[in-house]
Structure 1
Amino acid sequence: MPRIETPWGPWDAAPLSDVVALFRRLPAPWWIAGGYAIELAVGRPYREHGDVDIALLRRDHLAARALLAGWDVHAADPPGSLRPWREGETLPQHVHDVWVREDPEGPWRFQLMLDETEDEEWVFRRDPRIRRPIAGLTLEEGPGVRRLSPEVQLLYKSKGLRPKDELDFAQALPHLTGEQRAWLTDALELLGQSDHPWREALAADARCRG
Structure 2
Amino acid sequence: MRTDISNWMPLSVSEINKVFSGIPLRWMIAGGWALDLHLCKQTREHSDIDIIITRDEQLIAYQYLKRDWVLYKAENGKLELWEDEEYLNSTNDIWVSKSNETPWAFQIMIIDTDENFWIYKRDTSVRRPIDEIFLRTDEGIPYLRPEIQLLYKAGGSQVREKDHYDFQTMLPSLLPQEKAWLKSSLNRQFSEGHTWLKFL
Q: TM-score, normalised by structure 1?
A: 0.88
Per the alignment, in what secondary structure is the counterpart of residue 181 of structure 2?
Answer: helix
Give the structure 1 partner of residue 160 of structure 2.
162
- Offset of 1:8 from its aligned partner? 4.2
Secondary structure of the structure 1 residue equivalent to 2:96: strand
CA distance in 1, matches of 2:138, 2:59: 25
Q: Report if the CA contact (8 A) 1:31-1:55 is conserved.
A: yes
Q: CA deviation at 1:144?
A: 4.4
Q: 2:51 aligned to 43, 51, 54, which one?
A: 54
Contact kept? 2:38, 2:137, Cα under 8 Å = no
Please report the RMSD computed on the Cα atoms of aligned residues, expressed in angstroms.
Answer: 1.4
Q: Residues 194 and 177 of structure 1: is their aligned pair in 2 closer, same or farther, counting only changes over 3 Å?
A: farther
Counterpart in 2 of 1:126? 122
Distance in 2, matches of 1:110 and 1:45, equals 18
Deviation at 1:192, TM superposition (A): 2.0
Aligned to 1:75: 73
- Which residue number in structure 1 is paired with residue 86 of structure 2? 89
Deviation larger for 157-166 or 116-125: 157-166
Which piece of structure 1 moves more, 52-61 or 138-147? 138-147
Query: 1:146-190 CA distances to partner (integer Å, 9 max, x unpaired)?
Result: 110000000000023111101110111111111100000000000
Work out the number of aligned pairs and report it. Answer: 195
Identity, % of aligned pairs?
Answer: 36
> Could you say which residue in structure 2 is the equivalent of 1:177?
175
Which secondary structure does the structure 2 equivalent of 1:111 belong to? strand
In the TM superposition, residue 194 of structure 1 has moved relative to its aligned partner by 4.9
Q: Unaligned 5+ residue runs, structure 2?
A: none
Q: CA deviation at 1:87?
A: 2.6
Matched, 1:66 2:95: no
TM-score, structure 2 length as denominator? Answer: 0.93
Deviations 1:85-131 (A, max 9, x none): 0232211x220000000001100110000011000000001111110
The answer to whether residue 23 in structure 2 is matched with residue 44 in structure 1 is: no
Structure 1 residues not aligned, in runs of 5+: 1-5, 203-210
